[in-house]
Structure 1
Amino acid sequence: MSELATLARPYAAAVFKRAKETKSTAKWSQSLAFMSAVLSDKEISVVVDNPKVTKERLSALMLDICQGQVDGESANFLKLLVQNNRLTLLPFIAEIFEAYKAEDEGYIDVEVITAYPFSKEEKQKFASKLEKTLSKKVHMNATVDKSLIGGVLVRAGDRVIDGSIKGQLQQLAKRL
């Protein structure tokens, strides 16, 4: 998986650079997300992986499916990926692009897993504390996992803050 991310990084960097030049990061974000969603479909992935399907037919199919969702530059990028046999990198390219976009706009996507659901007020307070801790604007996605017993587990990029009872018990078990 890290090999794929390594291969995807130059494409994502080039797309992000172009998006910044043309002031179209939001448009590129939507296009990449849509193309990634198309590739995640099982029927499409079978066609993409089929060696009997020519690059021209695959390009035509993808452009037909994405019609109206991608502009000229995005379509050219899609053709480039097909011609270079890099279409399977698209989800990684989209993910890395979003990380570049978040860094540029000064926010971070944070996944918060709690044992019990946040109230609206608690969610706002927690988000503001995370913003102070991480020194960035936070886009928080909160989910519930009863197996945590209590507390929260926070994932912000490569940083993990485990304040869950389950995590504390696991740490205690390791020490013993």
Structure 2
Amino acid sequence: MSELATSARPYAVAAFKRAKETGAMQNWSQNLAFMAAVTSNDSISSVVDNPKIGKQSVTDLLLDICQDQIDKEAANFLKLLVQNGRLPLLSTIAALFEEYKAEYEGYLDVQVTSAYELSEESFKALAENLEKSLGKKINMNVAVDKSLIGGVLVRAGDQVIDGSIRGRLQQMQKTLQ
């Protein structure tokens, strides 16, 4: 993944800078997400990855598929990726773009995994506590994983907060060994 991120970073940075210049942050976000979804489709990727199909044919195919869903700048970006052989990086470029966008807009994507479905009150309380402790607005996504036994596991960027029973049991097991 780090190799992909290293190769994708210049493209993500360029897209982000252009989005800032034109004030089209949300538009670029949607365009990149759509293009990444198209290129990650198994049927499309088998055609795109076929060395017998030329770059122009791949470009024409992708532009035909994306025609009403992306704007002219995104189409040019797509052409550039095809010409430079960087199309497989599109999902990573989109993910990096979202990270830059979140930082620029002052929020943080937080993945919360809970042992049980959170009530609306618990969701709001957890969101408020995370905003206070992280010092940023958050965009919280919640998933349920019963293997946690109880509590929550929070991932915010590089930071992980493990408040789960499973995590505590694993810590206790390490201590006892």
TM-score for the superposition, normalised by structure 2 = 0.98
Deviation of the 1:53 alpha carbon: 0.8
What is the distance in 1 between the residues matched to 2:70 and 2:116?
40
Count residues in correspondence.
176
What is the distance in 2 between the residues matched to 1:40 and 1:8?
16
Aligned to 2:101: 101
Aligned to 1:124: 124
Aligned to 1:52: 52
What is the distance in 1 between the residues matched to 2:152 and 2:39?
33
User: Which amino acid in 2 is paired with 1:16?
Assistant: F
C-alpha root-mean-square deviation of aligned residues, in Å? 0.6
Tell me whether 1:11 sits opposite 2:11 in the alignment: yes
Deviation of the 1:172 alpha carbon: 1.3
Q: Equivalences for 1:81-92 in 2 at 5 Å?
A: 81-92=81-92
Runs of at least 4 residues of structure 1 off by over 4 A?
Answer: none
Deviation of the 1:171 alpha carbon: 1.2
User: Which amino acid in 1 is paired with 2:30?
Assistant: Q
What is the distance in 1 between the residues matched to 2:140 and 2:21?
28
Matched residue SS, 1:163: strand
TM-score for the superposition, normalised by structure 1 = 0.99
Aligned to 2:133: 133
What is the distance in 2 between the residues matched to 1:11 and 1:172?
45
User: Which amino acid in 2 is paired with 1:134?
Assistant: L
Q: Equivalences for 1:2-41 in 2 at 5 Å?
A: 2-41=2-41
Gaps of 5+ in 2: none
Matched residue SS, 1:132: helix
What is the distance in 1 between the residues matched to 2:172 and 2:122?
28
Aligned to 2:70: 70
Gaps of 5+ in 1: none
